[in-house]
């Protein structure tokens, strides 16, 4: 037996007990006549003591040679600690070691294995197995496990059945590039890794499973960012004989359960917001409603003067920054520089100070009088002491720009509090979106999303106006889940493929199996998929997902620890009937 107890377990009640521990050397302090060693495992830290009065000379010398991250086993007696440490659970005791075994020595780590490390992200990703030993990463992975178990338990109790679906499937258009896998046994043919189990969960509904879920890996070959990885995990769910309200109620229940069990937070209401309202009031379809700063559209009160910048804009829109009148001119200039960054793309920003005495001072006083500026304040909800920030330009672009500014200001003002949770359903998305590059409509979600009841006929006359029977669950400004009521009959699905530009032959080649299944009695069905990585990060009070993934990729999609992706040798290429045609 390598250990009788773990390193976070012993208390004053164990004093005088003989115990055996095993773990890693966190650090040692050698005073010559006495050596203290902090022994660490997943459960905590226990202090070991070796002293020249009670420790044999050979063991003392051995203890003095212990380096950081050596793996050791010790046997000894639990004694009361003379200088107690209230910061750790084992701080009242230490182990007077009677036997020391070095199980494995260790090189000096390339960064310190401590909560606040001296290692940058690149080096920690290269040595991820060492990074996992640090409490922030270790605890994040344990936290993910806890969330995952709560999800499984809750859905199982609600009658959902967990079913695995294949990883080697057929390439189908779902909005992002597929990762493809060559088939050795089928020359010149490829599998694709699933972007989601979409068609399979629909087939499970045809198969009568009624309630399905799966915690499943999905794969998308797309550009990466802090909250996106080429492989990610979904809580994938589907239900038969349901309407939209049934889906929303079911997964409000799951989200409410997680917030209560994981965070101790009780949420009663899950507001509903139309997609069009989300775009108008917040500039994006996943608004953070923990704070205000709703958009005020200023066209009617700003386009009647000789200010060409506003007059020539499709949209003039502003927000009121609470307490923003305290900003210095230098601070405002920095905000203007911030919105001009390429990542945001605004050409500039107009501002208006709302003074405590009820007067206004703007950067465009030449064009607007006090009555005009008072209307700006009324439209944006600005109060004395606030600052109004105004952007103008193309409607879609300026909304995105002001949305970015709103989030940045909220971050600076401390309004995005990690321990505060504000869920929101965004509903009634457009069914289709126009793609300028291909000059045709694409499905905003996927080709299997049903239009809202009664709107199918609009496809022929005003396809851009058709609303989808789709919904996203937003938490703290992040989309944590999304789904839709599906098309469940062959006729409607064929019609949808037509409007998306599929020829009958293309539709049959890619989705014939699903269309065939619909002919054998497909029930009305719908579902939702949560992004598990993002959900866990938000519940854990973080914005980025990497520390909640054991072995993440970097922003180039590389695993720098195992050096993947990597070339394969000529023999493998030949076996797979592949020939490289690399660009120089």
Q: What is the DSSP letter of 451?
A: B
Inter-axis angle of helices 135-157 and 532-539, to 10 degrees? 110
Q: Is 221 annotated as a binding residue?
A: yes
Helix (H, G, I), strand (E, B) or coil at 505: helix
- Phi/psi region, residue 345 (left: phi>0; alpha: psi -120 to 50; beta: rest), is left
Q: In a 3-state reduction of DSSP, which class is residue 72?
A: strand
Alpha-helical (H) ranges within 231-369 are 244-263, 275-282, 299-302, 308-311, 329-340
Q: What is the per-residue DSSP string for 144-171?
A: HHHHHHHHHHHHHHTT-EE----SSB--
Tokens 């970015």 appear where?
404
Helices within 69-177 (DSSP H only)? 121-126, 128-131, 135-157
Q: What are the strands, taking DSSP E only, across 148-241?
A: 161-162, 180-182, 190-192, 211-219, 231-240
User: Which two structure tokens, joined as six digits, stand for 493?
Assistant: 């699905």
Question: 526: exposed, middle or buried (C-beta count within 10 Å: 0-12, 13-18, 19+)?
Answer: buried
| Euclidean distance between CA atoms 311 and 392, whole angstroms | 9
- Does 268 show up as a binding residue in the annotation? no
Exposed / middle / buried, residue 367 (Cβ in 10 Å: 0-12, 13-18, 19+)? middle
228 a known binding residue? no
569 is known to lie in a ligand binding site? no
Instruction: Say if residue 534 carries a ligand binding annotation.
Output: yes
229 labeled part of a ligand binding site: yes
Estimate the share of the chain in helix, then strand, then coil, as percent rounded to the nearest 5: 30, 25, 45
- Does 486 belong to an annotated binding site? yes
For residue 486, the 8-state DSSP code is B
Question: Is 290 known to sit in a ligand binding site?
Answer: no
Peptide bond into 563 cis (omega under 30): no
Q: Is the dihedral of CA 84, 85, 91, 97 positive or negative?
A: negative
Among residues 175, 15, 156, 137, the alpha carbon closest in space to that of 81 is found at 15
Which residue, chain included where needed, has tokens 């499970």?
204
Task: Say if residue 479 carries a ligand binding annotation.
Answer: yes
CB atoms within 10 A of CB 523: 13
Cα angle 159, 164, 169 (rounded to 5 degrees) comes to 140
- Helical ranges in 421-489 per DSSP H: 458-461
In the chain, how many H helices and how many E strands? 17, 22
Give the closest residue to 351 by CA, choosing from 395, 409, 291: 409
Q: What would the two tokens of residue 528 be?
A: 């939702």
How many angstroms separate the CA atoms of 202 and 176, rounded?
20
Are 446 and 514 a contacting pair, CB within 8 Å? no
Residue 445 counted as an annotated binding residue = yes
- Annotated binding residues for L-aspartate, written as ranges, equal 174, 220, 445, 486
Residues belonging to the binding site for ATP are: 220-222, 229, 479, 531-534
Binding-site members are 174, 220-222, 229, 445, 479, 486, 531-534
């Amino acid at each position: 037996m390598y250990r009788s107890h773990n390193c976070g377990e012993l208390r004053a009640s164990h004093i005088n007990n003989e115990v055996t521990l095993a773990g890693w050397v966190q650090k040692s302090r050698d005073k010559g006549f006495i050596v203290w060693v902090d022994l660490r495992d997943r459960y905590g830290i226990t202090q070991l003591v070796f002293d020249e009065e009670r420790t044999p000379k050979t063991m003392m010398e051995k203890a003095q040679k212990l380096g950081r991250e050596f793996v050791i086993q010790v046997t000894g007696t639990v004694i009361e600690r003379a200088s107690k440490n209230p910061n750790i659970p084992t701080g009242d005791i230490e182990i007077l070691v009677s036997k020391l075994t070095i199980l494995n020595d260790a090189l000096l780590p390339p960064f310190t294995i401590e909560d606040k490390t001296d290692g940058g992200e690149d080096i920690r990703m290269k040595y991820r197995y060492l990074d996992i030993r640090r409490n922030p990463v270790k605890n994040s992975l344990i936290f993910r496990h806890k969330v995952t178990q709560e999800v499984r338990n809750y859905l199982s109790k609600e009658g959902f059945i967990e079913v695995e679906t294949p990883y080697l499937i057929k390439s189908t258009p779902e909005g992002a590039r597929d990762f493809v896998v060559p088939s050795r046994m089928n020359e010149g043919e490829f599998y694709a890794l699933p972007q989601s189990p979409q068609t399979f969960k629909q087939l499970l509904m045809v198969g009568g499973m009624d309630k399905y879920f799966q915690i499943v890996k999905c794969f998308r070959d797309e550009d990466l960012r802090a909250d996106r990885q080429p492989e990610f995990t979904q809580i994938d769910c589907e239900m038969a004989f349901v309407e939209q309200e049934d889906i929303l109620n079911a997964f409000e229940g799951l989200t409410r359960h997680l917030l209560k069990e994981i965070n101790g937070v009780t949420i009663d209401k899950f507001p509903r917001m139309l997609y069009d309202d989300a775009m108008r009031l917040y500039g994006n379809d996943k608004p953070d409603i923990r704070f205000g700063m709703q958009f005020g559209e200023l066209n009617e009160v700003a386009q009647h003067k000789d200010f060409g910048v506003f007059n020539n804009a499709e949209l003039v829109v502003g927000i009121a920054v609470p307490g923003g009148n305290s900003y210095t001119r230098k601070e405002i200039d920095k905000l203007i520089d911030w919105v001009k960054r390429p990542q945001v793309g605004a050409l500039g920003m107009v501002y208006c100070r709302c003074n405590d005495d009820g007067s206004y001072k703007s950067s465009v006083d030449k064009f607007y009088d006090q009555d005009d500026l008072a209307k700006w304040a009324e439209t944006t909800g600005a109060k004395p002491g606030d600052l109004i920030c105004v952007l103008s330009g193309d409607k879609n672009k300026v909304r995105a720009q002001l949305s970015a500014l709103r989030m940045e200001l909220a971050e600076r003002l401390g309004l995005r509090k990690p321990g505060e949770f504000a869920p929101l359903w965004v509903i009634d998305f457009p069914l289709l979106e126009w793609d300028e590059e291909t000059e045709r409509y694409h499905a905003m979600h996927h080709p299997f999303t049903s239009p809202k009841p009664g709107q199918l006929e609009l496809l022929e006359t005003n396809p851009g106006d058709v609303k989808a029977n789709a919904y996203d669950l937003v938490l703290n400004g992040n989309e944590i889940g999304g789904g839709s009521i599906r098309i469940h009959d062959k006729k409607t699905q064929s019609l949808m493929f037509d409007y998306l530009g599929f020829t009958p032959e293309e539709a049959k080649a890619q989705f014939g199996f699903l269309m065939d299944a619909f002919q054998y009695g497909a029930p009305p069905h719908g579902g939702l998929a949560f992004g598990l990585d993002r959900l866990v990060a938000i519940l854990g009070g973080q914005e980025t997902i990497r520390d909640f993934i054991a072995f993440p990729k970097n922003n180039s999609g590389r695993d720098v620890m195992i050096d993947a992706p990597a070339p394969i040798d000529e023999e493998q290429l030949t076996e797979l009937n592949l020939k490289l045609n690399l660009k120089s």
